[in-house]
Structure 1
Amino acid sequence: MSLLALQRDMRAWLACEDTSAADRLGAAAASGLRVYQNNYRAQLVACLEESFAQTRAWIGDDAFHEAVIAHIDRVPPSSWTLDAYPLDFPATLAKRYPDDSEVAELAWIDCTLGEAFVGFDAAALTTDDLAGIDWDRAILHFTPTMNLADLTTNATAIWSALANGEAPPEVELLPETGAILVWRQGLTAQFRAIDRHERDALDLARTGLPFAGFCARMVDAHGEDAGIARAGGLLRQWLGDGMIVGIEE
């Protein structure tokens, strides 16, 4: 058996308990294969437990472990690093809890905060860095740790309460879909809930549109005075949050 064939059979056994693969590996390997598979699954369970602490606290240990086992059975690791394995778990929870959207939203917060914490470093700009900027040509560049997802419930309030050891609020649906914004400021991964207007503004600002064009779009959406004020307010907010890491002219 070639090394490649051996590796493929070993993966098939670990991920799917493929008995044909086990047969090809030989009877002498049977007891060792079971040990390897138990260790493999234990590592995946531990990875998800560590990555989704608040989600687990919300749905309970039994329900969480049922979801973990179902996920491991359905979704084998596809990356060289175990750090990537949690990324698909929120989608598994969305399928298991289609009528409880806060569960997948909590899982997304858990997962994305972890991703932001280990993301690429980029020094944030401050207001002191803005002198001499040609705002007609200025293009904002945001931290690579920033991520966005739809928010339909008060999952951010639930997550914060759980993380602080407080009684979480009851689930509430938002009047309209907003978004969860996650990024890292310094050494701290953080999030906040934003409305759809800021979500749309962030999406627009990240297209490479110069700031003058961004302001014009805000004016189109909100009127001249309100639009200019909103553009300036968002710039101050994003700078204060440490989300802007560069301005290209």
Structure 2
Amino acid sequence: MSLALLQAEFGNWLMTGSDHAAARFAPTAQAGLLVYQNNYRGALMACLRESFPQTLQWLGHDDFQASAARCIDDCPPDSWSLDHYTAVFPQSLARQWPDDQEVAELAVLELALADAFVGRDAAPLDSTALGLIDWDRAVLRWVPTARLLRLGTNAPAIWSALASKGAVPQAERMPREATVLVWRHTEIACFRTLDPAEAELAPQLLAGMPFAAVCHHLVRAHGEADGVGIAGHWLARWAADGLLDRNVMA
């Protein structure tokens, strides 16, 4: 057996544990194979536990372990890094808990927060620089760690309660999906639910949107006085939250 074939057979056995794959190795190797498989599964299980602590709290130890084991069986890793393996867990939970949508959405939120924490750095616009910008020409763009989630349950409220060790609400489906913004401010991964008006413009702000266009949109929707006031309020909040990428300001 060539080295490449041996490695492929060994990888197949680690992921499937099938008797057919194990039979490719000598009887004296069987005990050692079990040690390797235990280490393989243990590493993946530990990765999921550490990456989804609030989902673990919500499900409880036994249900989380069972769900993680099912994910490991159904979705073997396809990358050299354990960091990439976490991406498959929310989809696996959605399949395993179809009547409990908040389970997968908790994992989606936790994954997004983890991705934001290690995301690409950017120089945010400081609030003190707002008066130095030519707002007729300025183009706004949110920082690279910003991303949008569409969630249909109160998973954000559940996550916040679990993380703060407060009173945890019952799971509930919302009347309509909400848009949740996730980003990193300094060294903290943050999120908040956007109101419908802000959510409507959010995709354009991720790509880059002239501030004049933001004002024009709000003036059409709310009238001149209220529209300009909302635009100013949003701008101040985005700057305070570290959301505005300084490098794209005109």
**TM-score for the superposition, normalised by structure 2:** 0.89
- Of residues 62-71 and 11-20 in structure 1, the stretch that sits farther from structure 2 once superposed is 11-20
- Structure 2: which 5+ runs fail to align? none
Tell me the residue number matched to 2:177: 177
Tell me the residue number matched to 1:16: 16
Tell me the residue number matched to 1:154: 154
- Contact 1:177–1:196 (CA under 8 A) maintained in structure 2: no
Tell me the residue number matched to 1:123: 123
- Contact 1:94–1:103 (CA under 8 A) maintained in structure 2: yes
Distance 1:26 1:241, change over 3 A: same
Distance 1:221 1:75, change over 3 A: farther
Give the Cα separation in 1 of the matches to 2:79 and 2:140: 32
- Of residues 214-223 and 112-121 in structure 1, the stretch that sits farther from structure 2 once superposed is 214-223
Give the Cα separation in 2 of the matches to 1:224 and 1:2: 75
Q: Kindly report which structure 2 residues correspond to 1:69-148, keeping only aligned pairs within 5 A, or say none.
A: 69-148=69-148
Give the Cα separation in 1 of the matches to 2:222 and 2:106: 32
Tell me the residue number matched to 2:186: 186
Give the Cα separation in 2 of the matches to 1:59 and 1:118: 26
- Contact 1:204–1:214 (CA under 8 A) maintained in structure 2: no
- Contact 1:177–1:195 (CA under 8 A) maintained in structure 2: no
Aligned length: 249
**How far apart are residue 242 of structure 1 and its match?**
0.8
Q: Percent same amino acid at aligned positions?
A: 47
Tell me the residue number matched to 1:229: 229
Aligned with 2:23: secondary structure? helix
Distance 1:17 1:220, change over 3 A: farther
**How far apart are residue 119 of structure 1 and its match?**
2.0
**How far apart are residue 132 of structure 1 and its match?**
3.8
**How far apart are residue 41 of structure 1 and its match?**
0.3
Residue type matched to 2:238 in 1?
W
**How far apart are residue 20 of structure 1 and its match?**
4.0
Q: Which runs of 4+ in 1 moved over 4 A?
A: none
Distance 1:27 1:132, change over 3 A: same
Tell me the residue number matched to 1:166: 166
**How far apart are residue 15 of structure 1 and its match?**
1.4
**How far apart are residue 238 of structure 1 and its match?**
1.2
Distance 1:196 1:20, change over 3 A: farther
- Contact 2:45–2:68 (CA under 8 A) maintained in structure 1: yes
Q: Kindly report which structure 2 residues correspond to 1:18-33, keeping only aligned pairs within 5 A, or say none.
A: 18-33=18-33
Tell me the residue number matched to 1:200: 200
Q: Kindly report which structure 2 residues correspond to 1:52-63, keeping only aligned pairs within 5 A, or say none.
A: 52-63=52-63
**How far apart are residue 116 of structure 1 and its match?**
1.8
**TM-superposition CA deviations, 1:115-154 (whole Å, max 9, x none):** 2222222232112233443333322232222222112222
**CA-based RMSD:** 2.1
Tell me the residue number matched to 2:243: 243
Give the Cα separation in 2 of the matches to 1:227 and 1:2: 70
**TM-superposition CA deviations, 1:85-108 (whole Å, max 9, x none):** 112211111222222222122112
- Structure 1: which 5+ runs fail to align? none
Give the Cα separation in 2 of the matches to 1:193 and 1:68: 28
